[in-house]
Amino acid sequence: MVKTNSIKAWFLAARPKTLTAAAVPVLLGIALAIARMSAKRLYVGVNIDNDDLLDWMFESKQWIPALLCLLFAWVMQIDSNLVNDYFDFKHGNDDETRLGPKRACAEGWITLPAMKRGIIFTTLLGCAIGLPLILFGGWEMVIVGICCVISCFLYTTCLSYLGLGDVLVLVFFGIVPVCCTYYLVVPELYHGITKEVALASIACGLVVDTLLIVNNYRDYDNDQKAGKKTLVVHIGKRNAERLYLWLGLGAILIMIGIGVYDALTYQMATYMLPLYGVYIALHALTYHKMKEIGEGRELNKVLGMTARNIFVFGIMAVIAIIFSAK
């Protein structure tokens, strides 16, 4: 039993399991920044007097933007979850035909007025966390922050109905968080986005999008009836299965390509690249499970497996990137 508007109710409304997808792009951006700072031979002109990278990060205070980026990503993810909960319930999407996990408003855990206040609070909290990043990245960070806040509302209220949710995921769970985190964590002297960082951000966005694909795959019939034109509704379930598989495989091909390019160009180590095989194996198993189940609430298991796969991708990528520069 969940008491209305209780701490437990808000905890469930925040959907803590989704925070992994928000953290992975930030961790990837941090890893790319660490690789640049630790491998003098990788990027010409970089010079760190202190060979101990952790000491360098603390002494140069570059851990501050790293932490702020992570906190901002988490708060914005919670904000997005609350917005999704509020508007889906208000539009009548969270009725008895819903196949996904329970939602706070629909279950009566959070009242609509309280949810509205919660959205205002998390939005303002996100802005407060992101504001100090101006000190590290300049006033252009304000524009980035505004776009992030707007994206929280656009997905549920507009883009998800037009089949553009996947584009939003690619941009705001891949390109923006990876590139901005990298930009903010490296010292000001080295501000700029390299082609490796840009490609890695796209790979990250592709992996995170597998979560949206399986979510919309599960809701295919309901979305069709509601006139919600998701990408899965546009291309059909069979093509969605293929897309799910190739989003993950494509991301890994990009990451391996980056590793091979760095090895040939900058004499980087490649002995960690086989780690990506862990993700490939898990992704393939999840893909077959998705095809086997096909429809219904059982696909929530695949949703959980996909979230796990995203976390594994993040860990494998961080390890491979950091140790390649050693």
Residue 92 Rama label (left phi>0; alpha psi -120 to 50; beta): left
Residue 256 per-residue DSSP state: H
pLDDT (average), residues 227-233: 86
Would you tell me how many other CB atoms lie within 10 Å of the CB of residue 101? Answer: 12
- Min mean pLDDT across 4-18, 19-33, 55-69, 306-320 is at 55-69
In the block, tokens 């819903």 appear at: 98
Residue 171 per-residue DSSP state: I
Query: Residues with Cβ < 8 Å from 212, sequence gap 6 or more?
Result: 165, 166, 169
Q: What is the pLDDT of residue 253?
A: 96
- Min mean pLDDT across 11-25, 84-98, 143-157, 230-244 is at 84-98
**pLDDT tier at 200 (50, 70, 90 boundaries)?**
very high
Q: What is the pLDDT of residues 74-105, one digit of tens each?
A: 999 999 999 988 888 887 665 666 676 778 88
pTM flag (> 0.75): yes
Q: What is the pLDDT of residue 47?
A: 47
Higher-pLDDT residue of 42, 294: 294
Report the alpha-carbon distance of residue 8 to residue 187 in Å, rounded.
41
Q: Which of 26, 42, 70, 61 is nearest to 187 (CA)?
A: 61
Q: Which tokens hold the place of 49?
A: 């007097």
